[in-house]
Structure 1
Amino acid sequence: MNQPSSHILGKAWLYCTVFLTGAAVMVIELLGTRLIAPFYGASLYVWTSLIAVTLIALALGYYVGGIWADRSRSGLSFIIAAAGLLTLIIPWLTEPVLLATDPFGLRLGSFISTLILFSPSLIMLGMVGPFAVKLSTSALANVGASTGSIYAVSTVGSVIGTLFLGFYLFPLVGSREIFIGLGIALLALAVIVAIIERNYLKSMMVMAPAALLVIVSAGLYPQIANSGKAESSDAFQTRFERESLYGWVRVIDKPKENIRLLTVDASTIGAASISHGENLLTYQKIVTRIPALVPNLNNALLIGQGAGHMAMALKDYGIVTDTLEIDPAVAEAASNHFGFTPTGRTIIGDARYEVRQLKGPYDLIILDVFTGGSEPTHLLTVEFLTQLRQLLADQGILALNFVSFLENGQNAALASVAKTLAQVFPHQQVFISDPGKDFNDFIFLATNHAINLDDAALPSTHRDWLKQRHLNIDPSRGVVLTDNLSQLERLQIRKSEHYRRMIVDSLGTRHFVR
């Protein structure tokens, strides 16, 4: 032990350690939303909570790790082993933590659950950097270079971990399995570091803390591996489930109610009867009235395919429909469990990118992406609506479904949709899906020409259905939604919390915990 510590410890293994732990930080941060999203959604609030918790945890880790490093020459293996154990148990703790925080609501509940689940392991990983700096520094003159190199390598590890997870690992392996694998990998790294510590300190005792945590982890592993499995229920049966890049996609049957649901996390995007397969979402029935409003429709674009019922309804009128769906798991579920057969092109991708590739013109464009869950705010801005208008034929029509509260016509979110549409289209009509209910689907029809609901050429059945549901929305209470500033998510907080509670209560909280 007479040799300078930097001579013994400033080797490749130390940089490998900070590289791997840096990668682990980003894996935990990015995957955290996939454990939280089925329960709280993947809204801005969930992402904000996770980023804030990550920064808080790392700050604490840096501070505590620096103090520990100044007081002891050993302990790095214990820190990594503790991070491994705390990462390993995250999937095990997810269900009880989410259920316990549910009463706090969407924003506070997501923050508290994120804090409990992820901060312990992130704090331990944050401690690695200061400890590595201490071990790699032999003199005050070397502090700057040592600190810079350690944190540079750690950051490179974070970059590689992010790319490896997003581009390769997550599309192939579930989030729970990745958490468990990461925990085991950190425990294995801790064993290697413990052996190195034993060699330079010439004491077997330095291995004991890390070894103890490895043994505890091995004992807990069977329970962790078996946690999070879906429970059977007489009330509903899960026919299909797939964890995609965009959420947990499920097809759920409720036999007693003769209902089959297509859900993504805690949002329903399709519903049909089990016995006959007919569409059960009232708002989608407006598509059977649109051909009467605008005759001679030949082709359509459906953005937000869901179960595909609107495209199938348009088929009965001889309308060929291209469908655009971001999630391939949703497209698979629609084909295999809802009998969806495309009549036009099937496009899988994000709407903002894919719309730019389309040529048009379309006689009808249906924008059906605003479910009760998180808002894809980038799909309801002046800029995107302008792109859609450019794809429309001169006599074409844009149909937009929006979920919100009516609030006696005073809802600022509804007013904002109307005001934003008015920036792009000279004419619009608004219809409510289920008259008499405050929480509802609202269908906006935007055109370049006026639509006359009293037109004698319109069949009376269609005319009566539309006029019973027709609304007048005052846009003065709203704001224009743009790419630069969209306040939609803020305006829809109450809607998101109400819808989430409604769906979770319907299927049970445990169904949305993985």
Structure 2
Amino acid sequence: MKSNFSASLLNRIWLYCTVFLTGAAVMVVELLGTRLIAPFYGASLYVWTSLISVTLIALALGYYWGGIWADRTRSGLSFIIAAAGFLTLIIPWLTGPVLLATDSLGLRLGSFMSTLILFSPSLIMLGMVGPFAVKLSTSTLASVGASTGSIYAVSTVGSVIGTLFLGFYLFPLIGSREIFIGLGIALFILAMIVAVIERKYLKSTSALAPTTLLVIIGLALYPQIASSGKSESGDAFQTVFERESLYGWVRVIDQPQENMRLLTSDASTIGAASLSHGENLLTYQKIVTMIPALAPSMRNALLIGQGAGHMVATLKEFGIVTDTLEIDPAVAEAASEHFGFIPTGRRIIGDARYEVRQLKGSYDLIILDVFTGGSEPTHLLTVEAIAQLRDLLTDQGILALNFVAFYDNGRNPALASVAKTLTQVFPHQRVFISDPNENFNDFIFLATNHALDLNDDSIPQMQRAWLKDRLLAIDQSNGMILTDNLSNLELLQIRKSETYRRMIVDMVGTRHFIR
């Protein structure tokens, strides 16, 4: 009796350990999947939706097929884990070819198909582990419920621990490619341990040979997989800095022939300068030279979305001290090391919605420059978010917001929604277009509690002419008020996101955005 109890306990322990580790592996694959896809398709809602959907589809198939396999044989769990390890190991190897093959499908379908091809095979195999473990842990029909519940409870706990370990510890220290490779090898080790247990306790040897063969093949491919992510040389563009952070893949890319240096986060350009003199090449930021003329008493500013930091240097010329708020420490590092950024005020690293609540005092100018051509941080453009910024402004303060969109003769609902949302918080606003001759453009909104008179004689003639030539009237009738509860800004900006991404990828080359 005692011998049977000990054998049953040992059987449960190794099964629980197996489902715990494979449950953690599921979440690692799911969470890291975005870090391989985002540099190419952006870290948008559509990428996350694709990955979550593919994960659920793959697990459903894995549960179904795993149950069928378990009913037919008691051996094979080690091979399933080895197959999951092999399919996880080759993900970094396949990323480039798959992303290039799906590029023509567009943002939504392309991100979904690439996610399906890259991650569903390994997730299906990991999903098969649960039903197989249930079958092995069930000794009588009466214990099916308890066995099933305990197996899936332990697997879920593994998923939780895997999520916390990855997000809080592992990912900030190690790149996503390296973690995928390490996870594949870890699953190989687990598979070999399970194969030994199957042979010793289940008296099964049928899975040992194919499991071992799969592990040998995977390890033989390791050198080629490990080197597959290295940048190719001989390109007109040269990567001089790259850092993978929690928020994106930050790179500084030079094009000597065009005398240009770019600062990118995933597939978004957030800074540009000439290589020869370091002057700013982003034309929309010229508005910063005009704003001080609208409020001559301006002394301090807050820049949300630091980028390369050129606007800070411009404001310094007018005697304005600028605090910067940047979510990504890798962007701050790149700006200092490769764009000569020198802060004139406080340098804050963190998410704007949280950090703004911690700020004390008031500003004469707040610049919200986070709505570039890439993903839309929609939580920063709602009535509630704008109201938080308004509360930090002085009575004569100005909120400047840059927004990339299509003009469409003033009928773009995204532009209308931005204008309508600002109207809920500020009684006055002016809108300027960066380049009057282009439909796809940067639009600068100046929102205030007081009217801005562009005919004021105190404004230099050159600034007045520049502003008047670019002044727009936005019809707000087809816009919606964006709130924390409901914001369809990302949906309204799909065409913008796809156009901008195609423009950047065509300019720099697709391989520069493949991790």
SS at match of 2:276: coil
User: 3-state DSSP class of the match of 2:207?
Assistant: helix
| Aligned equivalents of 1:206, 1:491: Cα separation in 2 | 52
The answer as to whether partners of 1:5 and 1:138 remain within 8 angstroms in 2 is no
Deviations 1:83-121 (Å, cap 9, x if unpaired)? 000000000000000000001000000000000000000
SS of the residue corresponding to residue 425 of structure 1 reads coil
Deviations 1:20-75 (A, max 9, x none): 00000000000000000000000000000000000000000000000110110100
User: How far does the alpha carbon of each residue in 1:193-220 deviate from its partner, in whole angstroms, 9 at most, with x for none?
Assistant: 0000011243544311111111111121
User: Is the aligned partner of 1:39 residue 2:40?
Assistant: yes
Give the equivalent residue in structure 2 for 1:497.
Answer: 498
CA contact (8 A) 1:4 1:138 kept: no
1:277 matched to 2:278? The reply is yes
1:312 aligned onto 2:313 = yes
1:167 aligned partner: 168
Task: Give distance in 1, aligned partners of 2:54 and 2:246.
Answer: 22
Q: Which residue in 1 is equivalent to 2:88? A: 87
Q: Which residue is 2:60 aligned to? A: 59
- Would you say the 8 A contact 1:29–1:54 is kept in 2? yes
Q: Secondary structure at the match of 1:467?
A: helix
Following superposition, the deviation at residue 9 of structure 1 comes to 6.2
Partner of 2:425: 424
Match of 1:506 in 2: 507
Between the aligned partners of 2:181 and 2:396, the Cα distance in structure 1 is: 56
Q: Helix, strand or coil: the match of 1:250?
A: strand
Secondary structure at 2:481's aligned position in 1?
Answer: coil
Determine the structure 2 residue equivalent to 1:369: 370
d(CA) in 2 for partners of 1:226, 1:201: 39
Q: Is the 8 A contact 1:453 1:467 kept in 2?
A: yes
Aligned residue for 2:441, secondary structure, equals: strand
Residue segments in structure 2 that go unaligned for 5+ positions in a row = none
Sequence identity, in percent?
81
Correspondence for 2:186: 185
Q: Deviations over 1:197-249 (max 9, x none)?
A: 01124354431111111111112111111101111234111110000111110
SS at match of 2:399: strand
Cα distance in 2 between the residues matched to 1:205 and 1:323? 62
Q: Give the count of matched residue pairs.
A: 513
String of CA shifts for 1:178-204, please: whole Å, max 9, x gaps: 000000000000000000001124354
Assess if the C-alpha contact under 8 Å between 1:6 and 1:137 holds in 2: no
The answer as to whether partners of 1:6 and 1:135 remain within 8 angstroms in 2 is no
**Residue 20 (structure 1) aligned with residue 18 (structure 2):** no
CA contact under 8 A between 1:187 and 1:214: conserved in structure 2?
yes
Give the residue type in structure 1 aligned to 2:142.
A
Residue 387 to residue 8, structure 1, CA distance change in 2 (3 Å) = closer
Task: Give the Å deviation of 1:6.
Answer: 7.7
Amino acid at match of 1:190: A
- Does residue 429 of structure 2 align to residue 452 of structure 1? no
Deviation track 1:361-394 (CA, whole Å, cap 9, x = no partner) reads 1000000000101100000000000000000000
Change (3 A) 1:234 1:196: closer
1:96-245 equivalences under 5 Å are: 96-245=97-246
Given that 1:8 and 1:200 are in contact with CA atoms closer than 8 Å, whether structure 2 keeps it comes out as: no
SS in 2 for 1:473: coil
- Distance across 1 between alignment mates of 2:499 and 2:104: 13
Aligned AA for 2:480? V
The whole-number CA distance in structure 2 between the counterparts of 1:452 and 1:338 is 35
Q: Given residue 351 of structure 2, which amino acid in structure 1 is its aligned partner?
A: D
Contact 1:5 1:137 in 2 (8 A): no
CA-atom RMSD in angstroms: 1.3
Partner of 1:268: 269
Distance 1:17 1:287 in 2: 58
1-structure distance, mates of 2:202, 2:65? 23
The residue type paired with residue 406 of structure 2 is F
DSSP 3-state at the match of 2:242: strand
Equivalent residue letter for 2:297: N
- What's the CA shift for 1:267? 0.4
| Conserved? CA contact 2:417–2:480, under 8 Å | yes
Q: Is the 8 A contact 2:37 2:111 kept in 1?
A: yes
3-state SS of the aligned residue for 2:135? helix
Give the residue type in structure 1 aligned to 2:208.
Answer: M
Query: How far apart in 1 are the matches of 2:235 and 2:70?
Result: 56
Superposition deviation, residue 429 in structure 1: 0.1
Match of 2:403 in 1: 402
- Following superposition, the deviation at residue 455 of structure 1 comes to 1.0
Q: Work out the CA distance in 1 between the residues paired with 2:11 and 2:510.
A: 50
1:250-269 alignment to 2 at 5 Å? 250-269=251-270
* 1:142-165 per-position Cα deviation (integer Å, ceiling 9, x unaligned): 011100100000000000000000
Distance 2:229 2:387 in 1: 44
* Aligned AA (2:182): G
The farther-off stretch of 175-184 and 224-233 is: 224-233
Structure 2 counterpart of 1:342: 343
Runs of 4+ deviating beyond 2 Å: 2-11, 200-206
* Structure 1 letter corresponding to 2:453: N
> Is contact 2:80–2:125 with CA below 8 Å preserved after alignment?
yes
- Alignment partners' CA distance in 2, 1:143 and 1:9: 18
1:8 shift after superposition: 7.5
SS of the residue aligned with 2:273? Answer: strand
CA contact (8 A) 1:45 1:107 kept: yes
Q: Is the 8 A contact 1:304 1:326 kept in 2?
A: yes
The Cα of 1:5 is off from its aligned counterpart by 12
Change (3 A) 1:239 1:442: same
